[in-house]
Structure 1
């Protein structure tokens, strides 16, 4: 299992269960693809949040084109899609790029619900 904190590391169909569903604490997963401009726009925002919230929120990314099984199983239809998991359960989901302040507000609301 990956122990690096403050970094947005990639997961795959094969590592998703261990890295996300069995992870202690909340995990935000970024479903993205190389061809998706909004995905590239949100990536630096997620990197900042990962650094700022290290120890309290883990952020992972998964390339939907290279890992279609996980995207299919979670019914991800648009990119980027951000899915927040806690204790292996999906607790929130957002579609599309958004400003950092808005994403932080949405994350805090979901985590404190």
Structure 2
């Protein structure tokens, strides 16, 4: 999964033509490390329908703050410049696929 920074967020996420999933994470976050390979797997299967990006909250504090990301991992799906789905906390693959079904099965 590619990374996105505060500086690139507007262009890469908010102005994207297709839905964008952003995984807000940090190096020290255990649950973030659990969910990362699951998201990589889903991205490999469904990357044509939804763009998958990750943002390190320690290196990029502005964006998480503006979207009130207080716990990580937080997975937000953006469409048309708006948050359309927010998933807080690590989930197993089946649960994530279920939560994202509107976007990956469209």
C-alpha deviation, 1:69, in angstroms: 0.3
The counterpart of 1:43, out of the listed 31, 36, 43, is 36
The equivalent of 1:31 in structure 2 is 24
The counterpart of 1:106, out of the listed 99, 103, 106, is 99
Q: For residues 101 and 20 of structure 1, what CA distance do their matches in structure 2 show?
A: 25
Helix, strand or coil at the partner of 1:15: helix
C-alpha deviation, 1:87, in angstroms: 1.3
Structure 2 counterparts to residues 27-106 of structure 1, below 5 A: 27-106=20-99
The equivalent of 1:18 in structure 2 is 11
Runs of 5+ unmatched residues, structure 2: none
Q: For residues 42 and 83 of structure 2, what CA distance do their matches in structure 1 show?
A: 19
* TM-score, length basis structure 2: 0.94
* TM-score, length basis structure 1: 0.89
RMSD of aligned Cα (Å): 1.1
C-alpha deviation, 1:70, in angstroms: 0.3
1:15-72 residue CA offsets vs partner (Å, 9 max, x unmatched) = 0111110111111100000000000000000100111002101110000011000010
Decide which structure has greater helix share.
2
Runs of 4+ in structure 1 off by over 4 angstroms are: none
